[in-house]
Amino acid sequence: MANGIAISKSLEKCVGECILDVPLQQILKGVSLLSLGCNQNLEIAREVGYAAGMVARSYGYSYLVVGTMDLLRDNDPDPLSKISRSPYITAQVLMNLVDGLVNSGVLPLIRISERFNQDLVRILVGRKAIYPAFVQDEGLILELEQLGYKTSFVLSDGSVKGRLPALRTTIEVDLSEVENIRRKVLLGAVVLLARGSDEIHVNRPLEKSGVLVFSDEDWLMEVARQVLQGARSPTGRLP
């Protein structure tokens, strides 16, 4: 692509310089952004970034669109693509996720939409955590720069505003820990929404009662049943 980078919307082999733009759960089964925000251990996002980066690199990608600058809200049409209702939790998860990706040799591009939260942007600017961004609309760039978020930007057509940093790594692709990390995230995000229901909700975080999990795998559903029965403590925080 002239003056731009090819963008892939599916996890398939990349030849040359490519950006991977798929939901996190398509890279690590069941591991959505919200599952990271619901974990009591926010540090797990660093391991997830590393694992997701290794998977992306195994397909030939050196850039990955990840994260969000939006917050979870009531009646959210796409809650799994948010991290938290809190800008502070969202900022911490983003920083950890980026650290893991960079350590894996993949450059993260933070997804920023028109619904970005200004408080979240200010928190990241205050922490000097300003990362390259992926935006749909060039008009967003001026808004972000006025808030102090000055970086390089990639648009949805692959065109680049500014200059993307280049990552060089000698670390070999290693997928041996990907499954362990994935299961650790899911086990750490078993959320008791409230008593009063015996339902297990899979990827339905806006329900009012019952137990929330982020995959329907048998082993995880058994953990959820134990939480409902009071035989096991929940592990995650409310979304």
Query: What b-and-e string marks burial along 115-125, b requiring 16 or more CB atoms within 10 Å of the CB?
Result: ebeeebbebbe
CA distance 27 to 64: 11
CA distance 61 to 53: 9
Q: Which pLDDT value is given to residue 169?
A: 86
Q: Which pLDDT value is given to residue 1?
A: 40
pLDDT in tens, 186-218: 999 999 999 989 999 999 999 999 999 999 999
pLDDT in tens, 82-121: 999 999 999 999 999 999 999 999 999 999 999 999 999 9
Domain ranges of the chain: 6-161, 190-239
| pLDDT band per the 50, 70, 90 thresholds, residue 2 | very low
Report the topology of domain 6-161. TIM Barrel (3.20.20)
